[in-house]
Amino acid sequence: MDFLAQHQLYIVMIIVLAIWLGLYLYLFRLDRRLKKLEERSQK
């Protein structure tokens, strides 16, 4: 914690990483949901 308090840029990095990974997972789930819909509409 002391390290982060002294190097504040790493806090920014962690926040941006969290946002990016969240968006990334969201896109993954959206992709999978679309795939299911496509399979359903083909039947």
Partner 1 sequence: MAIKILLGVLLTGVVIAGFGFPMSAAPQTWYELPVIPGLEDKARIIFFHVPTAWLSVVAFITSMLYAIQYLRKREAIDDIKSSAAAGLGFMFCILATLTGAVWAKFNWGSYWNWDPRETSIFVLLLIYGAYFSLRSAVEVEEKRATLASVYSIIAAVTSPFFIFIMPRIMTGLHPGAKGDPEGAGPVIEFKMSPNMRVIFFTSLIAFTLLFYWMFTLRVRAARLEAHHHSGG
Cβ within 8 Å of residue 4, ≥6 positions away: 10, 11
- Report the residue number, 2 or 24, with the smaller CB distance to partner 1: 24
Residue 33 CA to its chain's centroid (Å): 16
**At closest approach, how far in Å is the CB of 1 from partner 1?**
17
Q: Which residues bind partner 1 (CB under 8 A)?
A: 9-10, 12-13, 16-17, 20-21, 24, 27-28, 30-31, 34, 37-38, 41
Contact 10, 4 (CB under 8 A): yes
**At closest approach, how far in Å is the CB of 12 from partner 1?**
6
